[in-house]
Structure 1
């Protein structure tokens, strides 16, 4: 029996797109091991070839005219993916980064991580690009054989905003990474000059509007200076877009914006943090919340269904849209830290979200669509 062929659309993979790239790096080697009768091939752009080749369990084909910009990535997904799948006699296309081809062709599974472009459209300057992306996502999801998403909350949004019936959506929770404690966190973080006598709040994420980091800064500004924690917000190229807000709110002595950090630096920050804060207005999954809980770091999150889905009773919640309310919740969490029993319970809760389980469930979806094609 001939091996089944799956073409994976990684045209948008550049090494700098955060959670969606973690998703494919973690899942693909595991899925390939679970489906030994299936051969995987990848399409990527010129900036992704080396990065994809480092983890991908199969042949990697470069589409040289696709760069790191979203426009050529989108054009490649629309114009090249299905064509190259047909030429390569693929039995299935998997698009794991929110969108792929927008017309029916080779059977397709698309992972839609969220419908945030519709939930939180952003300001006027962002809406044109976001509306185009949203249209591509909608067409790709509506023409796919199956849509995989990462939470029940995301599935509800995909049904509501993208018009995909629940019968074609499979919910597969993301996994989280195993803690990898570093031996000397203070040394690794020495460049940040974190004061030993102040509590440390950590928050991680890109600077897209739904992450609501300006809201977090406004909340910090409501806390009396004597009680204000030192806050580290990781996840941006430098100069950080939040820098002007920090100055405007008079938080220069209270907020550190280190840009992107290494894996060891992030682990060290989790070890040093007294509280992890997630002010996001919307998420597909909220992986940093799970990562923090798995490392026994107390969590305060914005009170929305998706963050309650992944944080459960292990996290605290407050309205991050209200600066006074969220600032008071940060202060209350630092004044009354959770004990070791609660931290251990939180770690057990978060440890249920594994990449092995995510890979097994995702492989099952791919396998079922492949079996339907073979009938």
Structure 2
């Protein structure tokens, strides 16, 4: 494992002294993507430290941090999963323009494919240092079928073993676990720079009354929260099952699932398993999200694989109790997290019960 740094600024500051202009690149910069949140945090921190920062994305619908330029390379909408766009981008005029103008930057930070390939091209043609920021901690192709299954395998290869990844000037990972994983794929040492939250996102907080009214909660309800896309990757159907087992039909408990429903068939599967005590909110803006965090009591996720787990850090910022599998890197650094053995759903249920205060913790005399 390579050196560790506490922040993106510490890492960039360790590079050559003449780095002033930085391009941070990712597939999408919008209101729903976890990687977009990381890019936003990096751009904000580096801007505050005096760097000139520009963001490049295939799709850019979110307002960038003040003083940071956002460039959208465009989308082509060529498949139901919007993933073939990433391959087509490599041959697009916008990608060519990105490479041609890359010499105006002193550093390129690439989050995921296709910017790993574009970053490598800029390095070869202009000699611009290129850093690859690794997010995956394992392949998730078993969660999908058909074209989505094929793409998941291809994308995992492109983001782990691909030539462009292996030839980066530096490979960064968001946790020790992610770093060790990418090292097994590339044969390269990884530098660990953990994710941190962007506190400015939560300066405006919706009131508890607003949240209760919008999502049909009573002031007495105990709220369990999950934030993330409604997708098999997040294992949300199992979270619904465990929540309902833990609360055992008792009234006064609600599970809020906050996130875009990008896979209608899976969302319908979740709804079929859910009772009236489960609320799918869809996408919410930052003020509402901050209000939901503030209103909630417990954060729970059954996701088995995360590069870091940024919503857990956000939940900790709002002092929520957290229940998650110990395989999620963020769990290891949070003081108020219940660590659950990976895929032990019985243990998860018991920790959730304790977090909710539904039953007291057993003392040695009780046992």
Shorter-chain TM band: 0.7 to 0.9
Instruction: Give the stretch that moved more between structures: 66-75 or 170-179.
Output: 66-75
Does the CA-based 8 Å contact 2:304-2:328 persist in structure 1? no
Find the aligned partners of 1:337 and 1:294 in 2 and give their Cα distance: 26
Alignment map for 1:7-46 (pairs within 5 Å): 8=23, 10=25, 12-34=27-49, 36=51, 40-45=53-58
Query: Map of 1:129-278 to 2, 5 A cutoff?
Result: 129-138=151-160, 139=162, 140-160=164-184, 162-166=185-189, 169-178=190-199, 180=203, 182=205, 184-223=207-246, 224-226=248-250, 229-237=253-261, 241=265, 243-249=267-273, 251-278=274-301
Q: Distance in 2 between matches of 1:145 and 1:32?
A: 22
1:51: how far off? Answer: 4.2
Does the 8 Å contact 2:220/2:252 carry over to 1? Answer: no
1:97 paired with 2:81, answer no
Return the match for 2:149 from 113, 119, 127.
127
Match for residue 298 of structure 1?
A: 321
What does residue 72 of structure 1 align with?
Answer: 85
Q: How far did 1:151 drift?
A: 1.0
Secondary structure (helix, strand or coil) at the match of 1:308 reads helix
- Deviation (angstroms), 1:121: 4.2
CA-based RMSD = 3.3
One of 43, 52, 55 as aligned partner of 2:65? 55
TM-score (norm 1): 0.74
CA contact (8 A) 1:200 1:229 kept: yes
More helix by share: 1
Is the CA contact (8 Å cut-off) linking 2:24 and 2:53 kept in structure 1?
no
Uncovered stretches (5+) of structure 2, i.e. residues with no partner: 1-17, 361-367
**Deviation of residue 247 (structure 1)?**
4.6
Shift of 1:34: 3.0
Structure 2: distance between partners of 1:252 and 1:203: 16
Equivalences for residues 96-115 of structure 1 within 5 A: 96-99=110-113, 100-102=115-117, 105=124, 106=127, 107-115=129-137
Higher RCO, 1 vs 2 (CA within 8 Å, ≥6 residues apart):
1
Give the corresponding residue for 1:343: none
Q: Is the 8 A contact 2:141 2:149 kept in 1?
A: no
**Alpha carbons of structure 1 residues 286 and 82: separation in structure 2 relative to 1, 3 Å:** same
Distance 1:90 1:67, change over 3 A: farther
Which residue is equivalent to 1:345?
A: none
Given the alignment of the two structures, is residue 85 of structure 1 paired with residue 96 of structure 2, yes or no? no
Distance 1:326 1:65 in 2: 40
How many residue pairs match? The answer is: 325
Aligned-residue offset at 1:86: 4.2
8 Å CA contact retained: 1:82, 1:101: no
Quickly say closer, same or farther: Cα 1:27–1:42, change in 2 above 3 A: closer
Distance 1:78 1:337 in 2: 59
Unaligned runs of 5+ in 1: 339-375
Question: In structure 1, what is the Cα distance between the partners aligned to 2:317 and 2:87?
Answer: 35
